[in-house]
Structure 1
């Protein structure tokens, strides 16, 4: 019976595993100096995606960053397509209800061109039909106006300027199949298994 309980514990842990992805940034210009890495983790219990990492080689100041449609770097950042926008909304900021899935706002580079990132986003996902796995993250030369610029370009790209660096969002873990409906399926499975574990433990202790 102890082996059964142990198995259930292990299954519960497996179905509730967070999803992790990595991004390695490359400069759009072969002579560019922009480089860096991000780690993305989708919390199984909340669905939030935590993004952390460091970018170097930028000009000081704000830089727009977005998820783009394609994980295609065959022509540098140009071949990544437009902003990832499966819900067909206008461009906005990360806190706006009206925004592209890929709208992550601005990161500010310090005086030496370094950005240290540690944010959480509740719209992007690493699983489900709108997953950003296999797509790209693109860093722009200028500040994103978050759709408040008062012109047509503002509503599509935020007037953030040219593409200076990009990288593909690659899965790090789990190594098996991902749920097609998002992390909520993991929560439901774990929620069903945990009470069974406690009932079995209680039954065989009395």
Structure 2
């Protein structure tokens, strides 16, 4: 079981304007059934701690991303593309997170520390959502021995497949 993944990334802005407040998302599948919860809280050194716990999902590795729009209308394409502050390609989007491992019993959990975004960044005019995809994410990493270059879909999404769970990210009170 994956229980802790640390992720160092791009230039730090985490914690800016967060004032100690956190965020959370209640994850649901396409039928509206609850399948887990995500929390995001300020952490040390300008990072945020992203914690997720899921249940009743298919076993295996799943793409796991912050998406640009806070809308979880099934089939969750309403959540837009991956959240990104600076027009990066996939694998370096601000909202790209490590893949989420779900165990044979349908449960999984992970904690990720990142400086790619602050909590305040997630609350722009259209909000943000968290998405769990059907397949693992390849982070647009296709070695040239298999193809001259990744295609546009791989560069944008990492071939993570359908969106199987979604949660709108909402503010929580100060801790």
Shorter chain as denominator, the TM-score bin is 0.7 to 0.9
SS of 1:104 mapped into structure 2: coil
Tell whether the 8 Å contact from 2:18 to 2:42 is kept in structure 1 after alignment.
no
- Aligned residue number for residue 120 of structure 1: 113
Moved more, 103-112 or 77-86: 77-86
Tell whether the 8 Å contact from 1:65 to 1:105 is kept in structure 2 after alignment.
yes
RMSD: 2.2
- Aligned residue number for residue 71 of structure 2: 72
The structure carrying a bigger helix percent of its residues is 1
The CA deviation at 1:115 is 0.8
- Aligned residue number for residue 47 of structure 2: 48
The CA deviation at 1:53 is 3.0
- Aligned residue number for residue 171 of structure 1: 171
Structure 2 residue runs of 5 or longer lacking an equivalent are 1-16, 143-149
Tell whether the 8 Å contact from 2:50 to 2:111 is kept in structure 1 after alignment.
yes
1:132 matches 2:118: no
* Equivalences for residues 1-206 of structure 1 within 5 A: 17-28=19-30, 30=31, 35-43=35-43, 45-92=44-91, 99-127=92-120, 131-133=121-123, 134-149=127-142, 150-174=150-174
- 1: CA distance, partners of 2:162 / 2:52: 22
Give the alignment's TM-score, normalised by structure 2: 0.77
The CA deviation at 1:100 is 0.6
How many pairs were matched up? Answer: 149
Structure 1 residue runs of 5 or longer lacking an equivalent are 1-14, 93-98, 176-206
Give the alignment's TM-score, normalised by structure 1: 0.66
SS of 1:20 mapped into structure 2: strand
Tell whether the 8 Å contact from 2:26 to 2:168 is kept in structure 1 after alignment.
yes
Moved more, 135-144 or 79-88: 79-88
Residues 101-159 of structure 1, C-alpha deviations (whole Å, 9 max, x = no match): 110120111111111122211112112xxx11331001000000011033322211000
Residues 149-199 of structure 1, C-alpha deviations (whole Å, 9 max, x = no match): 333222110000000010011100249xxxxxxxxxxxxxxxxxxxxxxxx
- 1: CA distance, partners of 2:173 / 2:56: 29
SS of 2:171 mapped into structure 1: strand
Structure ID, larger Rg? 1
Higher relative contact order (CA 8 A, sep 6+): 2
